[in-house]
Chain A
């Protein structure tokens, strides 16, 4: 019985490429990974938004209206609904003039009780150091 920690580090812009969306959907898939593992074994995913990646969690994304696809905002909300650990780099938010008010911080409207954490890059570094594997997207 063991748990492997995977740290997804989202650093790419939303919609420009598929990378950040795939980071979120892969992290969400950690919820069903047990079907491939032995009883008691787990894969635990966390998500950290750094650099341009913080734009993935902006509120009021209009991808449905303009492109007819789901939003990264919706996926970000699902990660919180599924109790994944979510970290957002404070220095990068400051750099872009973004605050908590601009971001998806919880999934309360869907019944979730997890909140995203705005933290310094040092905290994200610690998360990466404690992970078994890093996945940059």
Chain B
């Protein structure tokens, strides 16, 4: 099985890029691959607990927790990007990590594929 590293910059609400990245991760994890999921910039909004499900907005928390339970999914937010937006360590959902940007670059080292979704 392979390892996929996905980096995202796009926000949870306001863009569907993050939804696409999570869907792709889910498909990869279901096939038994390992996924490192990096959130930078506005994507760190995903690393805020307490999000509620509304029909009009994306709600990815349940999918993410299911993927985390497999042990093949690692989700990490850029600490500086999160802090700049007022998301602190205590706001982070269970299982999420916060690291500096070099963690993401290190993750690419052993990745078979890197998908960097750098738009906003």
Contact = CB atoms under 8 A, between A and B. Distances in A.
A12 B120 CA distance: 10
B109 A135 contact: no
B9 A19 contact: yes
Interface stretch (B25-33, B60-68, B86-94, B96-104): B96-104
B101 to A, nearest CB: 4
Given A12-B119, A26-B40, A136-B116, A43 B106 contact: yes
B120 A6 contact: no
B120 A29 contact: no
A8 B42 CA distance: 19
Contact of B114 (A22, A25, A31, A133): A133
A125 B65 CA distance: 39
Interface in B40-88: 40-42, 81
A19 B7 CA distance: 12
Most A Cβ at <10 Å: residue of B41, B105, B106, B114: B105
A4 B104 CA distance: 13
Given A18-B42, A22-B9, A133-B108, A36 B116 contact: no
A19 B41 contact: yes
A33 B105 contact: yes
B118 A23 contact: yes
Interface string A33-48: 1011100010101000
A32 interface: yes
Interface of B: 7, 9, 40-42, 81, 100-109, 111, 113-114, 116, 118-120
